[in-house]
A and B are shown apart, each in its own frame.
Chain A
Amino acid sequence: MPPVAKFNEVTGTKPYLYYQTPGTAGLHYPMNSRLINWFKFSSPATFYPLAGRLVPIFAVLALALIGVGLYMSFFVAPTDYKQGEGYRIIFVHVPAAWMSMFIYLIMAFWAALGLVFNTRLSGMMTRALAPTGAIFAFLALWTGAFWGKPMWGTWWVWDARLTSELILLFLYLGYLALQGAIDDTRRADRAGALLVLVGVVNIPIIYYSVQWWNTLHQGATISMDNGSKMGVTMLWTMLIMALGFWAYTIAVALARVRSIILEREADTTWVSELAEVRL
């Protein structure tokens, strides 16, 4: 039998490992290094210190990558022969748009995991990711407007991509509003998870309907497609920025999930025994 991490919810004792062998139940063994217990970190009490160790790593990584990416996008990447200097905002715009979509998918992953395995941490992760996703969606729209003004001569076009990004922002806001309105955290987690899953099923439908609506309304608009013709330097810059945004997302989400854990588990003994709480 694999070792099971047990966390006593009643007394709030620290997790311990034991083997559920018949006759020896309750006997404490040292952790077997060859067996990986996948559920070990699904307990907030064990995940909290792990997240605490990971946050600085990813924060430094994010700073370094975004620093290098910004330097490259301002000084290394060549000026575009058609769009001039103004195009440089896509080094923020495109990674932000990517992240806003990825984060929703990751939220859906945690939501499904939480509904299936009924783990508390999954709901907290979904909750911790949502504000970052909303910020990236907003950032993508905002930088898109800054890009559109010099290029298209207007702040906003009812382009299929812009519209679906806006709808994605609405989906994030709906999730956050629902979370905010429910006081019972267990219900908030499960209701939010269901909403995220419904949203994920709907995203392709919304995307294609918006695209079709757009082509029917105004024919061919200005194409935003410049991915294939992009220079190697520009592509690398964009990739570095995207990786930097990934690291930022992970760092911020983990820092936020630590706060959520502390808030929700405030009554337990392990929280009151933490060094930072006792100070």
Chain B
Amino acid sequence: MFSAFRTLMGRDLLLAMRRRSDLFTTLFFFVIVVSLFPLGIGPEMNTLRLIAPGVFWVAALLASMLALERLFAVDYEDGALEQMLLAPQPLFVLVLAKVTAHWLVTGLPLVLMAPLLGLQYDLSSEALGVMVLSLLLGTPALSLIGAIGAALTLGLRGGGVLVSLLVLPLYIPVLIFGSGAVEATASGLGGQGHISMLGAILVLSLLLAPLAASAALRISVE
């Protein structure tokens, strides 16, 4: 079972490495959106410092949502997904492997890029640390929850817009606790409670989201 997990994850990572432009679109989307806000709002550093947590988290949310469409779509088109559904290994594990690979390709780069962009917003080093931690806990949860939406909209026309409608309301708790952690740290309250809640959300979605996503895949491919 574990070898199936590793094999599928390795395959997905290899495929992503072979098509590197996909990998960079998500990252550049994040960078550009974050850099656009100062242009729209003005270079006032005090304002920027205030809105930074929200801007970073909303941008991460949108970037992870943009990437969702590719999570199952390629495998669905070339028929590999059907083979996965037929495989003797539990679908739960396979979905988890795919989501993990997807997060490593689209989520982790954002987490690594965030502190660099945070400097543009004049965040303190402490707040930057909490931001990285919150993104590290939050973006996998986003990928997991998003997998349900991606599986439900597999092969539908206008799937991309539809995914956003289905998934964004479910993202709200992650957004609240993620940006709340950074904000609480920046204002000196300490973001530990938020971080714990993010961790709880991650654990819960690790347990439940692959189940729901596999059920959704079976419905969509049937």
Interface residues of A (CB under 8 A from B): 167, 170-171, 173-174, 177-178, 181-182, 187, 190-191, 194-195, 197-199, 201-202, 205-206, 209-210, 212-213, 216
Contact = CB atoms under 8 A, between A and B. Distances in A.
Given A181-B158, A194-B152, A205-B173, A174 B166 contact: yes
B148 A198 contact: yes
A167 to B, nearest CB: 5
B216 A178 contact: no
A251 B186 CA distance: 54
29 contacts: A167-B169, A167-B172, A171-B169, A174-B169, A177-B162, A177-B165, A177-B166, A178-B165, A181-B157, A181-B162, A182-B156, A187-B220, A191-B219, A194-B148, A194-B212, A195-B166, A198-B212, A199-B170, A202-B173, A205-B201, A206-B169, A206-B172, A206-B173, A209-B173, A209-B197, A210-B172, A212-B176, A213-B176, A216-B180
B220 A170 contact: no
A174 B201 CA distance: 22
The CB with the most chain A CB atoms within 10 A, among B153, B166, B177, B222, is that of B166
Contacts of A206: 169-170, 172-173
Which 5 residue pairs are nearest across A and B when measured between Cβ atoms? Answer: A209-B173, A170-B169, A213-B176, A190-B219, A174-B166
B113 interface: no
A174 B165 CA distance: 5
A194 B216 contact: yes
Contact of A187 (B168, B169, B222): B222
Interface string B185-222: 00000000000010001000000100010011001101
A182 B219 CA distance: 12
Nearest to A211: B176
A202 B170 contact: yes
Given A201-B208, A206-B173, A213-B176, 15 more contacts: A170-B165, A170-B169, A174-B165, A174-B166, A178-B165, A178-B166, A181-B156, A181-B157, A182-B156, A187-B220, A194-B148, A198-B148, A206-B169, A209-B173, A216-B184
Determine the interface band of chain B, counting residues with CB < 8 A from chain A: 20 to 34
A173 B165 contact: yes
Given A198-B170, A213-B176, A187 B219 contact: yes
Nearest to A175: B166
A171 to B, nearest CB: 5
Nearest to B156: A181
Given A181-B153, A209-B177, A212-B176, A170 B216 contact: no
Contacts of B220: 187, 191
Interface of B: 148, 152-153, 156-159, 162, 165-166, 168-170, 172-173, 176-177, 180, 184, 197, 201, 208, 212, 215-216, 219-220, 222
Given A173-B165, A178-B153, A194 B215 contact: yes
Contacts of A198: 148, 170, 212
Contacts of A167: 169, 172
A216 B193 CA distance: 12
Contacts of A194: 148, 152, 212, 215-216, 219
A195 B176 CA distance: 22
A187 B215 CA distance: 12
Contacts of A205: 173, 201
Contacts of A178: 152-153, 162, 165-166
Nearest to B177: A209
Contacts of A181: 153, 156-159, 162
Nearest to A180: B162
A209 B176 contact: yes
A80 to B, nearest CB: 34
Nearest to A173: B165
A191 B152 contact: yes
A179 B74 CA distance: 23
B217 to A, nearest CB: 10
A198 B79 CA distance: 27
A106 B184 CA distance: 38
A209 B148 contact: no
Contacts of B148: 194, 198
Contacts of B170: 198-199, 202, 206
Contacts of A187: 219-220, 222
Contacts of A197: 212
